[in-house]
Amino acid sequence: MRTSLFLLAIGLALLVVDGRLVAAGSSSSSVGRIAFSAGPHGHQDVYVMNADGTGPRQLTNDPAADFDPTWSPDGKRIAFRHETNGDSTAEIYVVNEDGSHRRNLTRRAGQDHAPAWSPDGKKIAFASVRRGLLPAIWVMNADGSHQKRVSKVDGEYPAWSPMARRSSSIGIRSDRPDGTSGS
């Protein structure tokens, strides 16, 4: 058995066993598709394709940067970061997997980024710079309502626990070794 791991420039990791693709990063398990961003820096768009690389389709097409896509657990929606003019304008958007019904969920002053769907798809955790200089973790309903800061420390890139169906555990990355706030 021959196993190969390919790290592609578009930010995907593909695992090939005996010449057959068996895994790809950022895939939707329910529909076997991969969401990714591509394009020149500052002008990326969100795309989807089959796990074998066939059938690529562009979902966003505007002069802004659309990147960091993440699938909803049911594979029907994709949340992503949208920047019209650099980091300070970042918002969290969501779009249906066919590119329809694109909408801004955060619509707030400050930088919102790193969306992460809860395992049940009812909530999205994200990082936001709304108060102070460093990001904190916020959670909102999947429709963008009821946005609430949930972290007491600065941090970003939240990841829900797979056990979150029974609890509300969210892991965060802090830039300080002890995990404390930088402010």
Going by C-beta distance under 8 Å and a sequence separation of 6 or more, which residues neighbour residue 123? Answer: 117, 139, 140, 141, 142
Q: Looking at the predicted structure, is the pLDDT value of residue 11 above 50?
A: no
Read off the pLDDT of residues 95-126 as tens digits, 9 standing for 90 and up.
999 999 999 999 887 899 999 999 999 999 99
pLDDT score recorded for residue 46: 96
Rounded to whole angstroms, the Cα distance separating 41 from 97 reads 23
3-class SS letters over 103-163 = EECCCCCCEEEEEEECCCCCEEEEEEECCCCCCEEEEEECCCCCCEECCCCCCEEEEECHH
15 or 152, higher pLDDT: 152
How high is the mean pLDDT of the chain?
A: 80
pLDDT at 24 over 80: no
pTM above 0.85, yes or no: no
Whether 178 shows a pLDDT value over 80: the answer reads no
* Spatial CA neighbour of 131 closest among 160, 117, 151, 159: 151
The helix/strand/coil state of 87 is helix
Domains, the chain, ranges and CATH?
28-173 (2.120.10.30)
Spatial CA neighbour of 125 closest among 134, 135, 116 = 116
Please report the pLDDT score of residue 109 as a whole number: 78
Question: Cα 152–158–163 angle (5° rounding)?
Answer: 100
Question: What is the C-alpha to C-alpha distance for residues 42 and 59, in angstroms, rounded to an integer?
Answer: 17
Kindly report, residue by residue over 147-172, the tens digit of the pLDDT: 999 998 889 999 999 875 544 555 54
- 140 beta partners: 124
Distance CA 138, CA 180 (A): 16
